[in-house]
Structure formats: structure tokens, C-alpha cells
Amino acid sequence: MKEGIFLGKKNYILGIETSCDETAAAVVADGNQVLSNIISSQVDLHRKYGGVVPEIASRKHLEIMDLVIKEALETADLHVSQLHGVAVTYGPGLVGSLLIGIVTAKTLAWSLNIPLIGVNHILAHVYANLLEHEEIETPLLCLTVSGGHTDLLYLEEWGKYEVLGRSRDDAAGEAFDKVARYLGLSYPGGPEIEKLAREGDASRFELPLPVLENSFDFSFSGLKTAVINLVHNMEQKGLDIPRADVAAVFQKTVAQALINKVVRGVEKLGVGTVLLSGGVAANGFLRAELKRELDKRQVQLFYPSLPYCTDNGAMIACAGYYLLQKGIISSLTLDADPSLTLSC
């Protein structure tokens, strides 16, 4: 390990993220001082297909990975030789995309003789909260709501967690994206639904609230089908589709389903802190409604700023720093694990 690491000097970690359609690299000092956070999104490339095309994604990562890292180092005003470690997402995600980041990180770690730290992307979404709130205390509950995951975690301490519940079908973000597509909105659908919902009446209809009694698991595919049926019925009757109202009711119902489980978890486990993370944590309605419920119970809520909710390199560097601090590093045989989960 490089001399000076964890000996009182600043420790610089490069975080690399290529699990889906963002090529991202960031330099973070001592776990939470973000010196640079460069994100090159491929959203415009994939929009016309209504979702991410894996082959296009990996080709684009390959094309711009070096440039993104160069920009991250330049913005941080660092030379590559000043890095103390390279953290990289090794799963879950698209295998071709993950491999571009992993091979790049391995090459850097080997040539610079610094530690390589493989990071679970979903755990990194949770750690994103530490970038701006180092003071967050455990034990806590964390609701991670992203494009591919809906996980409710109990963190007894950082690095020691238990999965209380997860989605049995569609993830929350996936449901936003699919409903948006059905309403003719562009990809990614979450921000589009949120925008449209601001003009809508959330009390216009009732949609079935996904419940799953006696479980912390979630389910969103029934709700998605209910939206499709509602719109389809109106179309058959020749009615205009009140898209803003549909968006508002859908958003309210998803938020309610998520909040119900968090509140139940808080009451059962007696924690005083809740974290929100992942792309759907960018949703202003969800943030405000969850805060309202938690305030009533004197429970503190934290969520990352918008650039740290969706995929970014800073959260990878942050998680990498804390893993490195515990001596958890990867060997140069690190491989992509497209279906990596959070272990129960």
C-alpha cells in the first residue's frame, strides 16, 4: 500500500462508474471531499430506443473512459501519481459496460501500484449520503430506490447491514420509466413524471396501493398494470387522457407504498435516522412526503443532492475509501458480477 495512506495526509481515491449508461469518474479526498465528479451521460444516445441498449453503452464507455478520467484528474488538479487507490463498480449492471470500468481501474491500480477496490454499486448509492453528511449516525434504515433496485436496509453500523425487504418484481425507478413510456414521455421517465405530476391532480383517481402484508418487500408491477388499464379504458371510451393527473396519482401511490414500509421499519426497529438513496431519491414529492412522516416521529431524514442520487463516480470513491479503511481491497482478478446483490 502506498506510503502515507491513512497516516494523517489527504487520501485521494479515484472512483470509476460504468455499470449502465453513465461514464463517470471522480476524485474524492478522505472519503467525502469531492474534488471532481465528471459524468458523461449517454441518455441522448439511448432515448430513441426508450431504454439502454447494452452494446451501444459499452462501445460508448470504451470511447470516452480515458477522457472522463483525464477530466476528473484535471478538475481535481491532481496528477495520476498522487492517487492512493482506484475504486470501481464491479456489479450489478451490464456486463459489457462494467468490464470497461474494471479493466481501466485494474490497469491504473497495477501500473501505479495502488490498491484496487471493487465496489457494489447499490451499496455505493447508500454511501452517497456520506459525501455531504459525514456526521450520519448508525443504526439507521436506508431506502435505496433506483432504476433496477428497491431495497430497504437496516445498517447497524457502516459495513454491517441487513436487507429487510426488496422489490419482488419491478424496481421503483423501472416502474416510473415504464409508466412514463406508456404515457408517451421520454426516457428516463422518473424526472418526466415528476415534472408532469406538478400540473396534475393527485386525488383525481384511486390506484391500488401495493401492500404485501407482514413483509418489508415491495411490488410495483401490479400498480404499473393498473395505470395501463386505467389509460386503456379511457382510450376505449374515446376520452382525452388526463396525463398530468395520471402521473400525479401514480407518483403519489408509489411514494405512499415506499413511505409505509419505511415508517413500519422505523417503528419496528426504533431507529432515529433514515437515508434515501438511488435515482428515485431525486424525486421531490417522495422526499417531501417522507420527511413529513418522519418529522412527526422525530426521525431525521438524509438524502444526497441531485448529482449524487443518480449514478456518479463520487459515490464509488466514497464507498471505496471506507472499504479501504477497513482493509477490504480486491485482487487484480476482479471480475464483473452483473447480478451482484446485497447479501441478506
Ligand X SMILES: Nc1ncnc2c1ncn2[C@@H]1O[C@H](COP(=O)(O)OP(=O)(O)OP(=O)(O)O)[C@@H](O)[C@H]1O
Binding site for Mg ion (CB under 5 A): 146, 311
For residue 194, the partner it binds in ligand X, Mg ion, none, with Cβ less than 5 to 8 A by kind, is: ligand X
Among 11, 36, 97, 146, binds ligand X (CB under 6 A): 146
Closer to ligand X by Cβ: residue 174 or 271: 174
Closer to Mg ion by Cβ: residue 11 or 310: 310
Point out which span in 42-50, 129-137, 190-198, 220-228 binds ligand X (CB under 6 A): 190-198
Tell me if 36 contacts ligand X by CB under 6 A.
Answer: no
Among 173, 265, 304, 313, binds ligand X (CB under 6 A): 173
Beta-carbon count within 10 A of 295 CB: 11
CA 100 to the chain's CA centroid: 20
Closer to ligand X by Cβ: residue 253 or 283: 283
Closer to ligand X by Cβ: residue 69 or 280: 280
Point out which span in 7-15, 39-47, 146-154, 292-300 binds ligand X (CB under 6 A): 146-154
For residue 282, the partner it binds in ligand X, Mg ion, none, with Cβ less than 5 to 8 A by kind, is: ligand X
Is-contact 115 1, C-beta < 8 A? yes
> Which string of b and e fits 308-327 if b means at least 16 CB within 10 Å?
bbbbbbbbbbbbbbbbbeee
What Cα–Cα distance (Å) separates residue 149 from each residue in 174, 258, 259, 291? 8, 13, 16, 21
Rounded CA-CA distance 181/197 in Å is 15
Q: How far is the CB of 292 from Mg ion (least distance, A)?
A: 26
Q: How far is the CB of 144 from ligand X (least distance, A)?
A: 8
Among 51, 54, 139, 191, binds ligand X (CB under 6 A): 191
Tell me if 153 contacts ligand X by CB under 6 A.
Answer: no
Locate all alpha helices (DSSP H) within the chain, ordered by sequence.
43-47, 54-76, 95-112, 121-127, 172-182, 189-197, 221-236, 243-269, 284-296, 306-309, 313-325
Is-contact 202 248, C-beta < 8 A? yes
Tell me if 149 contacts ligand X by CB under 6 A.
Answer: yes
Rounded CA-CA distance 209/95 in Å is 35
Binding to ligand X in span 196-225, by CB under 6 A? none
Closer to ligand X by Cβ: residue 109 or 122: 122
Rounded CA-CA distance 141/81 in Å is 38
The 3-class secondary structure across 18-79, one letter per residue, is CCCCEEEEEEEECCCEEEEEEEEECHHHHHCCCCCCHHHHHHHHHHHHHHHHHHHHHHHCCC
Tell me if 280 contacts ligand X by CB under 6 A.
Answer: yes
Among 15, 115, 165, 189, binds ligand X (CB under 6 A): 189
Point out which span in 106-114, 141-149, 159-167, 331-339 binds ligand X (CB under 6 A): 141-149
What Cα–Cα distance (Å) separates residue 13 from each residue in 25, 73, 247? 10, 11, 40
Tell me if 166 contacts ligand X by CB under 6 A.
Answer: no
Where along the sequence are the contacts to ligand X (CB under 6 A)?
19-20, 92-93, 121, 125, 146-149, 173, 176-177, 188-191, 194, 278-280, 282-283, 310-311
